[in-house]
Amino acid sequence: MAGRMKIFAGSANRELALSICKKLDRRLSRAITDRFADGEIWVKLGENVRGEDVFILQSTYSPAENLLELLLLTDAAKRASAARTTAVIPYFGYARQDKKDEPRMPISAKLVSNMISRAGADRVLTMDLHADQIQGYFDVPVDHLYAAPVLARYVKKTYRKSNDLVVVSPDLGGAKRAREFANRLGGLEVAVMQKTRPRPNISSVVRVIGEVDGKDCLILDDILDTGGTVVNAAVALRAAGAERIRVFCVHALLSGDAVERIAESPISEAVVTDTIPLRVKNRAKLTVVSISGLLSEAIKRIHENRSVSSLFK
């Protein structure tokens, strides 16, 4: 068995790392990140890790330096003789090109998986991958968590008096995720949006499949990027007679004018997690729920070589 648990964090998720350490009653180990004059990243682990069980927490959202910092920290742990190194990646970026569905295109999810494995990660802990098959791209064990239990608890606590809830998938690909979420909430009805996507970050709703007239709709998605998908879905739901429309997304990228777009839409609330730090001024319709409890329990179980699968329930 690996030695003592040591948790390091890159610059992408320091607040989340501190919250996880607090729940585990441990201090955050010291990692130093600096820059050379030309902007090149320089990292160093600030304490001994020989024979230790090392966890490195870093989401790989834009800019690409977040991914590079994770690779450098992982390589540093490997070269410092850590007994085991686990890359904790709350948001696994570069996952939206997960297959070669057109000529002359990369499979970026596979490439990034290879890079993390080659850097020295012995296992990966991540959350709500854009596509489940990405787990198979790694050559090391992957523990894939879902934020659904955390989001479902929020729904039950906040909307327990509503009897007309329906879970909505913003596209056909998310129908399975929506059904599982609906089952967590006691077997709610599910509606699905049929849409087209002529190019990345551009979508348009064709029609609503399911009964939403007079219902409170819970739109469920994994990534909230430009907001176009959920806003278009909300507009279509309102036209179909939906009463109140709320959005639940795990990874809040919130690119461009996403916050303003949501604020001006029929969406009454957008609930997101802290896999990505929320650094926007206008939070009028945004609510953040933390996944630090879920990640801290998973880290503890990995360290103790116990099952993680029970956390899916």
The per-residue pLDDT for range 52-69, each reduced to its tens digit, is: 999 999 999 999 999 999
Do 153 and 246 belong together in one domain? yes
User: Does residue 299 share a domain with residue 227?
Assistant: no
DSSP β-ladder status, 31-35 and 41-45: antiparallel
Range of the domain at 73: 5-145+293-312
74: number of Cβ within 10 Å: 28
C-alpha torsion sign, points 195, 197, 201, 204: negative
Residue 79, classified by CB atoms within 10 Å of its CB into exposed (0-12), middle (13-18) or buried (19+), is: exposed
Residues 138 and 161 in one domain: no
- Per-residue pLDDT tens over the stretch 113-130: 999 999 999 999 999 999
What pLDDT score was predicted for residue 194? Answer: 83
pLDDT of 204 reads 62
Q: Do 157 and 256 belong to one domain? A: yes
Whether 231 and 162 share a structural domain: yes
Residues 225, 303: one domain?
no
The dihedrals phi and psi of 206, each to the nearest 5 degrees, come to -90, -50
9 and 137 within one domain = yes
How would residue 144 be classed by pLDDT, with cut points 50, 70 and 90? very high
7-51, pLDDT tens digit by residue?
999 999 999 999 999 999 999 999 999 999 999 999 999 999 999
Q: Please tell me whether residues 164 and 138 are part of one structural domain.
A: no
Please tell me whether residues 213 and 127 are part of one structural domain: no
Query: Do residues 154 and 283 share a domain?
Result: yes
Which residue spans within 200-276 are E strands per DSSP? Answer: 202-209, 216-224, 245-252, 267-273
Q: Which of 301, 9, 274 is nearest to 147 (CA)?
A: 274
Q: Residue 78 pLDDT > 60, yes or no?
A: yes
pLDDT given for residue 3 in this prediction: 83
Going along 58-109, which residue ranges are E strands? Answer: 84-89
Per-residue pLDDT of 153-190, as tens digits, reads 999 988 765 668 999 999 888 899 999 999 999 899 99
- For the stretch 253-312, pLDDT in tens is 999 999 999 999 999 999 999 999 998 877 889 999 999 999 999 999 999 999 998 877
Query: pLDDT tens digit string along 196-234?
Result: 655 665 556 568 899 999 999 999 999 999 998 899 999
- The total domain count for the chain is 2
Secondary structure (3-state) at 86: strand
- Alpha-carbon radius of gyration of the chain: 20
Q: Which of the 8 DSSP states describes residue 284?
A: T
CA distance 293 to 105: 38
Instruction: Extract the tokens encoding 219.
Output: 């739109």
Instruction: Please list the active-site residues.
Output: 195
Q: Smallest Cα–Cα separation from 151: which of 13, 254, 262, 271?
A: 271
91-114 residue pLDDT tens: 999 999 999 888 999 999 999 999
Q: Is 162 found in the same domain as 265?
A: yes
What CATH number is associated with residue 92?
3.40.50.2020
Q: Is the peptide bond before 149 cis (omega within 30 degrees of 0)?
A: no
Under DSSP, the state recorded for 238 is H
Residues 172 and 229 in one domain: yes
